[in-house]
Structure 1
């Protein structure tokens, strides 16, 4: 049996303690040998505030202490394209349960299910009934596994707002990420 590989993709603008907690809990839950953290260079579904190279550096700092994590730049704007290029044997693609609700609207969601299992992290406040209805409506609901994570109340947009105001990011991002945001003056206007 081949070793389990997980994939955690995102804009990571910036990466925060919620991302790191999800990574750690997914590694434990799915018994992952490796976790590919993929910083999407040009996300097809949202704008970014920081160049890809800087977001990559922030992600390298954020996941530096996560055993088995391998951070790299993902040149593909869509998940299906990225999974096709990686060519892995049945990896676990990690998302939040709130993202799973929008999964049917993704570009080529059925192809994503062909190429990877979905590990959807649930937390208090997520409407599990809605999530379960979304999963049941998929052609391959057996390819989706919900798993609980400890909630971390933080978002990248909140961090950008605090950084713009020059406020501390203690407890929201790993210390090395906070230091790099401060050093580079990220998310500040002008």
Structure 2
């Protein structure tokens, strides 16, 4: 089906990702704003990438660090693809953007992946930068169920990005509540994103429907090579 060995592409992308991460850490003193984009990315798709780039440019962020969750505490209703598969797909998807790279920080952590732990670790790596955590507006509405919420809002600024079908009014109401209750710094952003979801992609793959042009071709190749989501 594909004429390029995805294993070769992945090895190249992993090297590129490592170089971008090293350069970013070495230049950390000069980075004023760093964006953290967490999620299961099961799988990553163009909606994620469009959102990240839109926020990077509009908030003038120096870098966006994609952090696939290792063992997400809120995803208990279904089986999630192995964390290394999700990491590799993120590396492939972000390869061509010099301002994006993928971190293994949550993959190496033992136990559940909590946002507050990730933010604290990122602040140690980038002590001279403002940290912006990017999440979906729907996730933002549920943030009071996250670990150590009062201290969570002290660890960084939060950007709630709207997704297709999400009521922005509800997200704005929640954000205002968190500002008043926790002195949180939260921004609501309406992203002209594509109407793509990981859930729909998984269903399409199960039904053997086309997923072409919904996610990077390299990620599509990876999914087919390892027979994921079937």
TM-score strictly above 0.5: yes
TM-score w.r.t. length of structure 2: 0.76
SS for the counterpart of 2:117 is helix
Q: Tell me which protein shows more strand as a share of its residues.
A: 1
Candidates 200, 203, 215, aligned match of 1:161:
203
* CA distance, structure 1, for counterparts of residue 145 and residue 191 of structure 2: 24
Candidates 65, 79, 86, aligned match of 1:36:
65
Instruction: Give the drift of 1:140.
Output: 4.0
Candidates 118, 122, 125, aligned match of 1:86:
122
Instruction: Give the drift of 1:69.
Output: 0.9
Q: Tell me which protein shows more helix as a share of its residues.
A: 2
* CA distance, structure 2, for counterparts of residue 146 and residue 66 of structure 1: 24
Whether the 8 Å CA contact 1:90–1:115 is kept in 2: the answer is no
Q: Cα deviation per residue 1:133-153 (whole Å; 9 max; x = unaligned)? A: 211211245500112211311
Whether the 8 Å CA contact 2:162–2:191 is kept in 1: the answer is yes
- 5+ residue gaps, structure 2, are 1-29
- 5+ residue gaps, structure 1, are none
Tell me the equivalent position of 1:63: 94
Alignment RMSD, CA only? 1.8
Instruction: Give the drift of 1:123.
Output: 4.7
Instruction: Give the drift of 1:67.
Output: 2.8
Say how many residue pairs are matched: 188
Whether the 8 Å CA contact 2:32–2:130 is kept in 1: the answer is no
TM-score w.r.t. length of structure 1: 0.91
